[in-house]
Structures are given as structure tokens and as C-alpha cells.
């Protein structure tokens, strides 16, 4: 029965993605040529990276084209449209969208010069008379495009969205993937497994995510990706880019909750699924692994923060306690955004500070039982406690089913400890305490 539930949820997700492919977001309609226009830039620093020890190089004169991704993941040119980059690396490429009618949204923009190639996937379909503004073409965008090609080759574009790829890959991971075709394939597989893990957890818990909700989630993610591209295309400062990425991550990490999925359930599912992405990134460089770990931690932090706030509000916690939780969540998110290369111990340290704040709030809200709550948390984090068992089980297997089962067991163990050791006025209060103890302990 559980396997059937998982298959159904995955099929619904694929259907939602296919239906979403026909939607539009931030294309503008100021094109008077009749063709579709793709505006973008090869970031100037990319030419110097390519030149290496040979000295300075220029992005001027790179040839820009568009290509469709075929069923085997290779690229096939669309028409004869070409453009050249100027001295700043900027380009404006006109394409007859009618020539791309069979490409759906599976289109890559390529810039090539002196044996070097930069790529980026289009976040929306081409439409004659409209224009699309892309974020700068870099090693990061090239790595993302390579992963997306693998996703298409594996026929999983209905399960893994472009926004999902964007959420995890930055410069270090992009470089590692750009230089290693096997790494692109492995990371595409990791994202597929992440989606399956979330579906598996929901199915195991009897949580239904409807087709309408999945469509809304995909719409939110796609619009966030479109807005990110527009912001990065227009931005001229590092701070503006950082702000755009922060908004993007917060939006996509909150997409399930915005669509009506329970925040607590999503945070638990996301943490289990995220573990697979981090585990399967082991084939990449140490720097790339750290980068992906930090990205994954930020996605979990947003999900946990949303769930903690929702739980405290539903429990009618004091306004001051809710605000303190909001402040702690903002501080955690901000700290993780600045730690783009965080190691595992540093991520744990950042979550530990957040955990302590929420623990203090729990003690205030349930003051009569504060000592027991502290004791339960200590037992969870003990050398032979539930968290140690969880970590041991994760190390033993990177299999999707085993990871989901390990987290489900951890959640159940904490709930049992609360049920057996804590005496409160209602089952609802015990459930709140159990959920908050789980949430503050899964981040680290």
C-alpha cells in the first residue's frame, strides 16, 4: 500500500510539472522584431578564469546560440540564430520561437569562445514578441545546465525542477560539475532521490499532497526562479545579488507551506530528503561538498523556522515568545547565508544557538515542566540517545528508504519520550512539545 501511495504521489508531481510547463512568468513584451529575445551576459570574470595562468582575457566576441535538450541529454541547435557578446560580455539574441516548438521549456543558452563554453537554462519558454532576461552565464550556471541535461536525459524533468537545481548549486559545486560529467549525473540522481524521499515520508505518514497543491508549489518555485533571474540580470552589486538569492531560497523553501502543506510535516520530510543530497555529494570536491551542505542547511533552516513559528502560534504561545522565535529564525537564516562554505561542525554550531533559544522559550511556556523538558532534550542528545542512533543509521546507508526510516524512527522516539516522561494538561500540549523538540534537533 505504501509503495502504491509513493508511486501515485510521484506521478501526480510529474503531471503537475508538465502542466506547469505551459505557464509564463516574467517575460516582457517590448520586442518589436516579432522574434523572441534572450538578453544576458557572460560574466567578465569568467574569461579570466578560462585564461588561467595565461593572463587576462576578454569576454567580448563570444558566440551565443540556443539549443534544445534532446531525450539523451545532448544539445541540438535551434535554428541559425546567433549573437556576439560586447566588451562587457552582454548579448541580445533574437530567436524565432516557432523553431523551438518541440523544445518545450528544455532550452539551453550557450556562449562559446576560444574553446570555452558557458551555459544557462532558460527558466521560461520562448515567445515571439517577448524577451527573457537571464542571470549572468558563469561556471555556476554551466554546472546547473549540465545537471538539468542529465535530469532530462533520465526523463525526470517532471520531478526535479530548475528551481530545485538552482537551490543547491553555487560556484564551487558548479565548477566541480562543469569539469566532471559523472558528477553532473550523480547530482541529478541525488535530486531525484530527494524528491522520492519527500514523497516516501508523506506517504508513510498518510499525508496527502493534492495535485492542486503540487501545481501551486511548482508555480511558486518557477516564479521565484524567474524573479531571481530578473534580479540578477539587473543587479550591479554583490549585496543586491545576495539579497536576491536570499529571497529566492526563502520563497522556494516555503512553497509547500504556502500551498497548504503542514509546515511541521514538510520540515521533517525536507530534512530527511536533504540528507540524501548531502550524502550523494560525496563524489564532489571538499569545497563543493561544503557549499552544498551550507545550501542544504539553509533550506532546512527556513523549513524548521516556518514550522516552529506555526507550532507556537497554534499553541497560542505568548506574543513575546513567538517574536523571540521569529528573531531567532531570522538570525539563523542570516548566519547560514553568510556561511557559504560551512563545514559540518560549523552548521551544527549555528543550529545549536537557535536550538538553545527555542529551548528557553519552551521552558518559559511550560514552566511547571521545564526540568523534564530539559531532561528529555538531554536524553535525545546523549551519547547513546536518539540523535546518536539517527546519525549511526544515516552513516550505515545512503539508501532512500533507509534514510527515511531512520528519521521516522527518530521522530517516533522523541514523541515516545515526551509521552512517557512528561505530564501536561492535554495531549495537544504534549504534541506541541514533542514537535518542537524534534524540530530544534533535526537541523544539527
**Angle in degrees, 0-180, between the axes of helices 181-204 and 139-153, rounded to the nearest 10:** 60
Q: How confident is the model at residue 10 (pLDDT cuts 50, 70, 90)?
A: very low
127 assigned to some structural domain: yes
Indicate if 195 and 297 belong to the same structural domain: no
Do residues 289 and 336 touch, judged by C-beta distance below 8 A?
A: no
Looking at residue 424, its pLDDT comes to 81
Which residue from 442, 114, 162 is spatially nearest to 305, judged by alpha carbons? Answer: 442
Indicate if 430 and 318 belong to the same structural domain: yes
CA 184 to chain centre: 16
Taking residues 143-151, report their average pLDDT.
96
Q: Write down the pTM of the prediction.
A: 0.87
32 pLDDT more than 60: no
Indicate if 291 and 388 belong to the same structural domain: yes
Residue bearing the bigger pLDDT, 396 or 49? 396
238 assigned to some structural domain: no
Indicate if 194 and 317 belong to the same structural domain: no
Percentage with pLDDT > 70 across the chain: 89
56 pLDDT more than 80: no
Looking at residue 379, its pLDDT comes to 94
Cα–Cα distances in angstroms (integers) from residue 63 to residues 39, 60, 95, 114, 369, in the given order: 14, 9, 14, 10, 68
Domain count, the chain: 2
Q: How confident is the model at residue 57 (pLDDT cuts 50, 70, 90)?
A: low
437 pLDDT more than 70: yes
207 pLDDT more than 90: yes
Indicate if 258 and 190 belong to the same structural domain: no
Indicate if 151 and 292 belong to the same structural domain: no
Q: What is the chain's Cα-based Rg? A: 23
Taking residues 157-186, report their average pLDDT.
91
225 assigned to some structural domain: no
Note the pLDDT tens digit of each residue in 114-123.
Answer: 999 999 999 9
What gap in Å lies between CA 362 and CA 263, rounded to an integer?
19
Highest mean pLDDT among 54-68, 250-264, 394-408: 250-264
Q: What string of H, E and C letters represents the secondary structure of 242-294? A: HHHHHHHHHHHHCHHHHCCCCHHHHHHHHHHHHHHHHHHHHHCCHHHHHHHHH
Q: Of 176, 200, 224, which residue constitutes the final position of a domain?
A: 200
Cα–Cα distances in angstroms (integers) from residue 265 to residues 204, 268, 297, 330, 430, in the given order: 11, 5, 17, 21, 17
Looking at residue 13, its pLDDT comes to 44
Average pLDDT of the chain is 87
Indicate if 150 and 271 belong to the same structural domain: no
124 pLDDT more than 90: no
349 pLDDT more than 50: yes
Indicate if 303 and 192 belong to the same structural domain: no
390 pLDDT more than 90: yes
Taking residues 10-24, report their average pLDDT.
42
The least confident of 66-70, 124-128, 222-226 is: 124-128
Looking at residue 106, its pLDDT comes to 92
224 assigned to some structural domain: no
Q: What string of H, E and C letters represents the secondary structure of the chain? A: CHHHHHHHHHHHHHHHHHHHCCCCCCCECCCCCCCEEEEEEECHHHHHHHHHHHCCCCCCCCEEEEEEECCCCCEEECCCCCEECCCCCEEEEEECHHHHCCCCCCEEEEEEECCEEEEEECCCCCCCCCEEECCCECHHHHHHHHHHHHHHHCCCCCCCCHHHHHHHCCHHHHHHHHCCHHHHHHHHHHHHHHHHHHHHHHHHCCCCCCHHHHHHHHHHHHHHHHHHHHHHHHCCCHHHHHHHHHHHHHHHHCHHHHCCCCHHHHHHHHHHHHHHHHHHHHHCCHHHHHHHHHHHHHHHHHHHHHHHHHHHHHCCCCHHHHHHHHHHHHHHHHHHHHCCCCCHHHHHHHHHHHHHHHHHHHHHHCHHHHHHHHHHHHHHCCCCCHHHHHHHHHHHCCCHHHHHHHHHHHHHHHHHHHHHHCCCCCHHHHHHHHHHHHHHHHCC
Taking residues 185-191, report their average pLDDT.
93
17 assigned to some structural domain: yes
Q: Of 164, 182, 200, which residue constitutes the final position of a domain?
A: 200
Q: How confident is the model at residue 340 (pLDDT cuts 50, 70, 90)?
A: confident
CATH number at residue 135: 2.60.40.10
Taking residues 72-82, report their average pLDDT.
92
Q: Which domain holds residue 146?
A: 2-26+34-200
What gap in Å lies between CA 254 and CA 333, rounded to an integer?
13
Q: How confident is the model at residue 25 (pLDDT cuts 50, 70, 90)?
A: very low
Indicate if 17 and 103 belong to the same structural domain: yes
332 assigned to some structural domain: yes
Percentage with pLDDT > 90 across the chain: 70
Do residues 3 and 106 touch, judged by C-beta distance below 8 A?
A: no
220 assigned to some structural domain: no
Give the strand order in the sheet containing 90-95.
90-95, 36-41, 131-133
Taking residues 378-382, report their average pLDDT.
93
Taking residues 264-275, report their average pLDDT.
95
Looking at residue 125, its pLDDT comes to 86
Amino acid at each position: 500500500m505504501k509503495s502504491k501511495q509513493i508511486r501515485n504521489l510521484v506521478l501526480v508531481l510529474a503531471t503537475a510539472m508538465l502542466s506547469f510547463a505551459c505557464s509564463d512568468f516574467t517575460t516582457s513584451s517590448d520586442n518589436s522584431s516579432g522574434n523572441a529575445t534572450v538578453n544576458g551576459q557572460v560574466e567578465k570574470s569568467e574569461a579570466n578564469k578560462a585564461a588561467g595562468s595565461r593572463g587576462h582575457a576578454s569576454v567580448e566576441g563570444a558566440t551565443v546560440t540556443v539549443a534544445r535538450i534532446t531525450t539523451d541529454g545532448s544539445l541540438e541547435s535551434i535554428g541559425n540564430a546567433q549573437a556576439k557578446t560586447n566588451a562587457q560580455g552582454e548579448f541580445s539574441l533574437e530567436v524565432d520561437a516557432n523553431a523551438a516548438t518541440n523544445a518545450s521549456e528544455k532550452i539551453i543558452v550557450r556562449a562559446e569562445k576560444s574553446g570555452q563554453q558557458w551555459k544557462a537554462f532558460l527558466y521560461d519558454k520562448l515567445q515571439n514578441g517577448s524577451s527573457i532576461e537571464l542571470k549572468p552565464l558563469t561556471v555556476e550556471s554551466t554546472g546547473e545546465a549540465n545537471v538539468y541535461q542529465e535530469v532530462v536525459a533520465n526523463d525526470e524533468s517532471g520531478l526535479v525542477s530548475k528551481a530545485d537545481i538552482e537551490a543547491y548549486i553555487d560556484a564551487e559545486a558548479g565548477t566541480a560539475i562543469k569539469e566532471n560529467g559523472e558528477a553532473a549525473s550523480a547530482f541529478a540522481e541525488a535530486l531525484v532521490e530527494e524528491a522520492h524521499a519527500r514523497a516516501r515520508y508523506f506517504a508513510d505518514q498518510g499525508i496527502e499532497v493534492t495535485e492542486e497543491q503540487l501545481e501551486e508549489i511548482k508555480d511558486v518555485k518557477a516564479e521565484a526562479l524567474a524573479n531571481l533571474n530578473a534580479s540578477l540580470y539587473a543587479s550591479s552589486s554583490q549585496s543586491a545579488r545576495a539579497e536576491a538569492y536570499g529571497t529566492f531560497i526563502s520563497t522556494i523553501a516555503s512553497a509547500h507551506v504556502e500551498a497548504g502543506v503542514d509546515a511541521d510535516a514538510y520540515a521533517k520530510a525536507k530534512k530527511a530528503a536533504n540528507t540524501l543530497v548531502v550524502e550523494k555529494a560525496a563524489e564532489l570536491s571538499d569545497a563543493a561538498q561544503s557549499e552544498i551542505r551550507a545550501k542544504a542547511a539553509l533550506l532546512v533552516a527556513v523549513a524548521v523556522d516556518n514550522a516552529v513559528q506555526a507550532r507556537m502560534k497554534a499553541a497560542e504561545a505568548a506574543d513575546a515568545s513567538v517574536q523571540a522565535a521569529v528573531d531567532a529564525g531570522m538570525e539563523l537564516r542570516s548566519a547560514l547565508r553568510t556561511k557559504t562554505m560551512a563545514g559540518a561542525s560549523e552548521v551544527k554550531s549555528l543550529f545549536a544557538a537557535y536550538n538553545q533559544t527555542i529551548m528557553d522559550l519552551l521552558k518559559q511556556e511550560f514552566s511547571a515542566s521545564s526540568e523534564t523538558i530539559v531532561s528529555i532534550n538531554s536524553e535525545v542528545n546523549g551519547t547513546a540517545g536518539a540523535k546518536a542512533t539517527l546519525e549511526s543509521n544515516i552513516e550505515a546507508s545512503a539508501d532512500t528508504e533507509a534514510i527515511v526510516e531512520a528519521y521516522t524512527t527518530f521522530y517516533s522516539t522523541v514523541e515516545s519520550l515526551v509521552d512517557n516522561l512528561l505530564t501536561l494538561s492535554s495531549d495537544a500540549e504534549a504534541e506541541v512539545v514533542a514537535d518542537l523538540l524534534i524540530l530544534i534537533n533535526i537541523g544539527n
